[in-house]
């Protein structure tokens, strides 16, 4: 993909793979298939619960791990030592991702879903899961800085293992307590969140790191990036779609009885994407960053790791919970929203050219 000023903005969708381009379609089909399965096989929950790992059935646990592993095998962990570049970009991104993003989602969750505790909690869980997957696609499509994007994704991956449970407790219990907000309607424990993160992020993170290290050392970067990664990448989508089918099979009655629930979740997510991307892009522009780094800053701040949010929600509250449903609605909204923001980003690139910043 070229990153020069002559990039064809009209070809953004064509540059997405078929799987990524039609992700909302696959998700909708999985939802419909799950609802149909739930009607045709009423005893599906008993079958899934026959073999469980803790509170999570083994088939669902395997689907969640399959969903996370390809994503984490793509991360360029070897670039984490190269933090000698733009430290301003690094610290600005960390502040946006781990302070502004979670706080903004917390505010939106309480503003839009104060009377829907499960959906509200699901949104907060999403806000804590910083993007480590699709953001690389949005960054490339918007002609962002690939190396900076890879570094920020690697840092977010490791930081989530270390900080997710602590931040989850803070935003779900401590901060609401300080503000006098009612939280007795949502039960959780810090250990439950920690366990879910360690299992569904820690295990695939370790496997992804070891796989990448072995692949680069034994086969070389060309083989790993051009053959192995394209081979395993679709399995993340397969794991996601399997999880969605199962969830909707088990939640069919609750979903069909309240279809407006999807809308109530979608609205704060759309507001979140627009605000996070817009504020981040403005910060990059005002601080004098080049266009590629500004685009990278904006997309890494606006995207979220819905795979982790779904895994944590299922591990802590169960596959039939409103928190898990909120996580599933997330990528359905994120994909078209961030594709639209790619077009906006490319359109705004002209402002950098006019002020003399070369989009390199």
For residues 213 and 217, what is the distance between their CA atoms, to the nearest angstrom? Answer: 6
Residues 6+ apart with CB under 8 A from 61: 53, 199, 200
pTM more than 0.75? yes
Strand-pair partners of 52? 57
pLDDT of residue 9: 47
What are 299-355's pLDDT values in tens digits? 999 989 888 898 899 888 888 888 988 988 888 888 889 989 999 999 998 778 666
What are 161-208's pLDDT values in tens digits? 889 999 999 999 999 989 998 876 677 788 888 888 988 888 998 999
Domains of the chain with CATH codes: 25-351 (1.20.1530.20)
pLDDT of residue 140: 85
pLDDT of residue 291: 93
User: pLDDT by residue for the chain (360 residues), tens digit each?
Assistant: 434 444 444 466 666 677 777 777 888 898 888 888 877 877 776 666 666 666 667 788 888 888 889 888 888 877 665 544 567 888 999 999 999 999 999 999 999 999 999 999 999 999 999 887 678 888 888 989 888 888 888 888 888 888 999 999 999 999 998 999 887 667 778 888 888 898 888 899 899 999 999 999 999 999 999 999 999 988 988 988 888 888 778 776 666 667 788 889 999 999 999 999 999 999 999 998 999 999 999 999 998 988 889 889 988 888 888 898 898 888 888 888 998 999 999 999 877 866 655 444
pLDDT of residue 119: 94
Query: In angstroms, what is the C-alpha Rg of the chain?
Result: 20
């Amino acid at each position: 993909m070229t990153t020069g000023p002559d990039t064809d903005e009209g070809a953004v969708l064509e540059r997405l793979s078929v799987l990524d381009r039609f992700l909302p379609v696959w998700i909708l089909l999985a939802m419909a298939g799950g609802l149909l399965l739930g009607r045709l096989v009423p005893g599906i929950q008993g079958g899934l619960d026959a073999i469980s790992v803790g509170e999570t059935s083994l088939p669902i646990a395997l689907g969640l791990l399959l969903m996370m592993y390809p994503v984490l095998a793509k991360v360029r962990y070897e670039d984490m030592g190269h933090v000698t570049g733009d430290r301003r970009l690094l610290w600005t991104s960390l502040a946006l991702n781990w302070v502004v993003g979670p706080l903004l989602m917390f505010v939106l969750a309480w503003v839009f879903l104060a009377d829907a505790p499960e959906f509200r909690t699901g949104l907060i869980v999403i806000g804590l899961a910083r993007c480590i997957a699709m953001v690389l696609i949005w960054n490339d499509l918007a002609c962002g800085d690939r190396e900076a994007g890879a570094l920020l994704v690697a840092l977010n991956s490791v930081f989530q293992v270390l900080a997710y449970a602590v931040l989850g407790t803070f935003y779900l219990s401590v901060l609401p307590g300080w503000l006098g907000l009612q939280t007795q309607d949502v039960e959780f424990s810090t250990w439950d969140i920690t366990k879910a993160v360690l299992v569904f992020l820690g295990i695939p993170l370790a496997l992804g790191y070891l796989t990448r290290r072995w692949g680069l050392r034994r086969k070389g970067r060309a083989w790993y990036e051009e053959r192995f990664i394209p081979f395993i990448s679709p399995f993340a989508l397969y794991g996601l779609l399997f999880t969605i089918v199962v969830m909707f099979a088990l939640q069919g009655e609750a979903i069909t009885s309240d279809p407006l629930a999807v809308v109530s979740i979608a609205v704060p997510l759309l507001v979140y994407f627009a605000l996070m991307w817009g504020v981040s892009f403005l910060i990059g522009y005002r601080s004098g960053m080049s266009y590629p780094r500004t685009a990278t800053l904006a997309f890494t701040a606006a995207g979220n790791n819905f795979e982790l949010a779904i895994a944590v929600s299922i591990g802590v509250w169960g596959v039939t919970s409103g928190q898990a449903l909120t996580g599933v609605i997330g990528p359905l909204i994120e994909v078209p929203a961030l594709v639209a923001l790619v077009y906006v980003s490319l359109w705004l690139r002209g402002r950098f050219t006019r002020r003399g910043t070369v989009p390199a």
